[in-house]
Amino acid sequence: MEKHRIIFFDTTLRDGEQAPGCGMGVYDKLRMAHQLDALGADVIEAGFPMASEDDFRAVSLVAAEIMRPVIAGLARASEPDIRRAWAALDCARHPRIHVFLASSDLHLQCKLKISREQALEQASRAVAYARSLCDDVEFSPEDATRSDPDFLCRLVQAAVDAGATTINIPDTVGYSIPDEFAATIRSIRERVRSIENVIISVHCHNDLGLAVANTIAALHAGARQVECTINGIGERAGNASLEEISMILSVRQAQLPFESGINTQQIYPASCLLSQIIGFTPQPNKAIVGRNAFAHEAGIHQHGVIANPLCYEIMTPESVGVPGNRLVLGKHSGRHALSKRLAELGFTPSGSELDSVYARFMKLAENKKNIYDQDLLSLVSLPAHQQAAIHATT
């Protein structure tokens, strides 16, 4: 089966930064852009140049220094925004202007206060103007998944006719579910003329926890660009997570005959750099990059991982740049994990001696949430009378 290449469009520096507490300075964005380049992102959306002077400077700086990927600047469907984005991209080797305009009646009526016909004319004019400046133009109908399907197709058609080279379908508020989102992509492919000549992209938010699932469904339906962020950061509940999408494609190759340019071993370094820049880490149970993603505390799991990591790990930590899995010692741990860690510390108790140490360990673990190496060292070197006292209470 032919493998289709998936374009990874990273918007950590734009949509990701819009999340509360995730603001980045100009040079922080540049550092992150260099890491995204090493990661293999195909497109880096570096900012929204019209939004602020700092955003303009960040896009300009990234465009001047990052040569391999496409560098995109966001613009509303207005000539001033588009001119500002193009000015920021002046030094880019591979520039892209990303134009957006709302498509749902809710947004058109309540936010923009324009009619559908006005939206069609505005989108057509804006895309044509952007295309007169830049050969690579992306158009996004904002709030696409809450738009009237017929009008959505008309708006996409207008953008394609005006010269858009990528059409992005955003689930702006994370409203869609996978079957529904896939049907939207299929409908656009079937109903929009010349759509086969452009790339269909998707940009999914995680308000219902379905951003990655919707993205994968869209790939099955024919989308070939995914818009995502490191650690899944972004507005409200965040965006589809780059690390999750890329590892789904890697681990489930038989079901997903796609390939990408992502160097998965750079995933964890990218996650760590972003955490350093914005000042907080992903939740501990975050897939792929959370601190518990390759950690095991339950004894039966620890035994299995010691015997063969594949028992409980569907990918290796090293494949995403994590140094190794972590056996967490706690009240759920078994003798195998304790023995392994003691051996790493230079102690090899066996038989009744290990039983004795394990009994002392369990007593400690019932009263202490985190067990450190110094705790283990004190267990194996306890005086006999203290060991006896512990045994008397177990």
Indicate whether 137 belongs to any domain. yes
pLDDT for res 323 = 64
**217 and 305 co-located in one domain:** no
Beta bridge partners of residue 218, listed in sequence order: none
**365 and 258 co-located in one domain:** no
Residue 354 CA to residue 350 CA, distance in Å, equals 5
Indicate whether 288 belongs to any domain. no
Among 278, 310, 343, where does a domain finish? 278
Indicate whether 273 belongs to any domain. yes
**273 and 300 co-located in one domain:** no
**214 and 301 co-located in one domain:** no
**How does DSSP classify residue 205?**
B
**267 and 339 co-located in one domain:** no
**9 and 147 co-located in one domain:** yes
Indicate whether 67 belongs to any domain. yes
Phi then psi for residue 250, to 5 deg, are: -75, -45
Q: Where are the alpha helices (DSSP H) in 235-333?
A: 242-251, 267-278, 299-307
Residue recorded with tokens 């339906």: 221
Beta-carbon contacts of residue 322 (< 8 Å; ≥ 6 apart): 268, 289, 293, 294
Among 212, 244, 278, where does a domain finish? 278
Indicate whether 363 belongs to any domain. yes
Closest CA to 78 of 117, 47, 112, 107: 112
Indicate whether 243 belongs to any domain. yes
**109 and 194 co-located in one domain:** yes
pLDDT for res 281 = 86
Domain count, the chain: 2
- Return contacts of 17-25, CB within 8 angstroms, 24+ apart: 17/47, 17/233, 18/234, 18/235, 19/233, 19/234, 19/235, 19/236, 19/238, 21/278, 21/279, 21/280, 22/233, 22/278, 23/278, 24/58, 24/277, 24/278, 25/54
Phi then psi for residue 294, to 5 deg, are: -125, 30
**101 and 238 co-located in one domain:** yes
**274 and 305 co-located in one domain:** no
Enter the pTM of the model: 0.83
**82 and 139 co-located in one domain:** yes
Walk along the chain (394 residues) in steps of 10 and give the mean pLDDT of each run.
86 94 94 97 98 97 98 98 98 98 98 98 98 98 98 98 98 98 98 98 98 98 98 97 98 95 94 90 89 61 56 76 64 75 72 82 77 68 46 43
Q: DSSP letter string over 11-76?
A: -TTTTGGGSTT----HHHHHHHHHHHHHHT-SEEEEE-TTT-HHHHHHHHHHHHH--SSEEEEEEE
**122 and 190 co-located in one domain:** yes
Indicate whether 299 belongs to any domain. yes
**How does DSSP classify residue 94?**
S
Q: Give the CATH number, domain containing residue 160.
A: 3.20.20.70
Among 278, 306, 323, where does a domain finish? 278
Burial of 249 (0-12, 13-18, 19+ CB in 10 A): buried
**What is the extent of the structural domain holding 110?**
4-278
pLDDT for res 310 = 60
**269 and 312 co-located in one domain:** no
For the chain, the straight-line distance linking the first and the last C-alpha, in angstroms and rounded, comes to 61
